[in-house]
């Protein structure tokens, strides 16, 4: 991939450590967990450049639950992967927990939940959940303790010795959430975690996730293409649009946090959902 010329990006330059240190202090004062300025990412392909992200400005504060919603190809997953340092932006600045994404990744500032559970079939559930702890060099006794704690948190107590392929899809995804949480990262990045599950399981897991979020006080960034899911879960909804991938609206959902599935029938909920749908419709080019 050839980076296209863009304004200088001190955040991604490993040679500019002093500048970065100053940036850390400034960012921490403002309390933003994720801060993006004019972020862009262009993939060079044989068919010409693909503008996956273009001019993205975004601020996510401590304790927020932010959803990225948009049609496929709008760059919502790419944006999450850029935050996780799994993709490199080609322009703009980005800080995660006050440091560049690369440093945030190496200091294990975030837990990432993928579209699929990505549990390793040769490890039992307990050893899957404690995989990050093993990488971090935590002692076996403490790992076992953490596994029990976080498996209980996602209602999987007693399944420690089972193998992933002996569990249902919903249980597997819950185990992968426990794995993302067990090393207590400040930030939880979730990429359509319930996309492959059926609606009933999904509703159930949405409720559980809300409770989990209230209990752990984590900052959550959540990618979805379901409007009800986004409105139900989020404190803030980021509506995105494709070609080029960009943010077209940021919608606060300020109804109370103690939501139940019935919340989805209230006028306030429907109003926000309507606004999201309008936003998506406005941003969507119907030429395809």
Binding site for another protein (CB under 8 A): 84-86, 105-108, 110-112, 114-116, 118, 120-122, 131-132, 134-136, 163, 165
Closer Cβ to another protein, 100 or 228, answer by number: 100
- What is the Cα–Cα distance from 203 to 194, expressed in whole angstroms? 9
* Smallest distance, another protein to C-beta of residue 87, A: 10
8 Å CB contact between 177 and 100:
no
Closer Cβ to another protein, 89 or 132, answer by number: 132
Q: Helix, strand or coil for residue 102?
A: helix
* Smallest distance, another protein to C-beta of residue 141, A: 19
Closer Cβ to another protein, 8 or 166, answer by number: 166
Specify the residue for token string 């440093």.
103
Tokens of 246: 């960009």
Residues linked to residue 99 through DSSP beta bridges, in sequence order: 96
8 Å CB contact between 201 and 218:
no
* Smallest distance, another protein to C-beta of residue 240, A: 21
* Smallest distance, another protein to C-beta of residue 192, A: 12
Tokens of 114: 């993928």
* Smallest distance, another protein to C-beta of residue 93, A: 21
In 151-271 the beta strands, taken as DSSP E runs, fall at 187-191, 219-224, 236-241, 246-252
- What is the Cα–Cα distance from 114 to 107, expressed in whole angstroms? 20
Closer Cβ to another protein, 50 or 116, answer by number: 116
Closer Cβ to another protein, 133 or 239, answer by number: 133
Closer Cβ to another protein, 54 or 128, answer by number: 128
DSSP 254: -
Closer Cβ to another protein, 151 or 187, answer by number: 187
8 Å CB contact between 235 and 252:
yes
* Smallest distance, another protein to C-beta of residue 99, A: 13
Q: CB under 8 Å, gap of 24 or more: what pairs does 99-104 form?
A: 99/20, 99/24, 99/27, 100/11, 100/12, 100/20, 101/11, 102/12, 102/14, 104/187
* Smallest distance, another protein to C-beta of residue 132, A: 5
Specify the residue for token string 């004062």.
29
């Amino acid at each position: 991939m050839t980076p296209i010329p863009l304004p200088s990006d001190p955040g991604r330059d490993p040679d500019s450590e002093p500048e970065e240190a100053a940036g850390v202090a400034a960012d921490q004062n403002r309390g933003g967990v994720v801060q993006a300025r004019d972020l862009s990412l262009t993939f060079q392909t044989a068919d010409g450049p693909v503008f996956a992200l273009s001019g993205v400005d975004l601020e996510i504060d401590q304790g927020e639950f932010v959803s990225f919603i948009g049609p496929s190809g709008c760059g919502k997953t790419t944006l999450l992967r850029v935050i996780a340092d799994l993709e490199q932006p080609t322009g703009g600045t980005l800080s995660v927990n006050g440091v560049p994404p690369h440093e945030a990744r190496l200091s294990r500032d975030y837990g990432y939940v993928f579209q699929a559970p990505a549990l390793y079939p040769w490890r039992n559930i307990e050893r899957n959940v404690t995989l990050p702890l093993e990488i971090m060099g935590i002692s076996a006794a403490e790992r076992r303790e953490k596994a029990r704690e976080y498996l209980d948190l996602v209602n999987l107590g007693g399944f420690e010795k089972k193998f992933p392929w002996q569990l249902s899809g919903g249980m597997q995804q819950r185990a992968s959430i426990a794995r993302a949480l067990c090393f207590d990262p400040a930030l939880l990045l979730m990429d359509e975690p319930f996309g492959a599950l059926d609606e009933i399981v999904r509703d159930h897991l949405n409720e559980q996730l809300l409770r989990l979020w209230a209990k752990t006080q984590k900052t959550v960034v959540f990618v979805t293409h379901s409007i009800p899911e986004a409105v139900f879960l989020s404190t803030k909804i980021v509506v995105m649009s494709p070609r080029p991938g960009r943010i077209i609206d940021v919608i606060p959902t300020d109804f109370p946090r103690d939501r139940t599935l019935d919340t989805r029938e209230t006028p306030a909920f429907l109003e926000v959902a309507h606004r999201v749908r309008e936003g998506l419709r406005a941003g969507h080019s119907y030429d395809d």
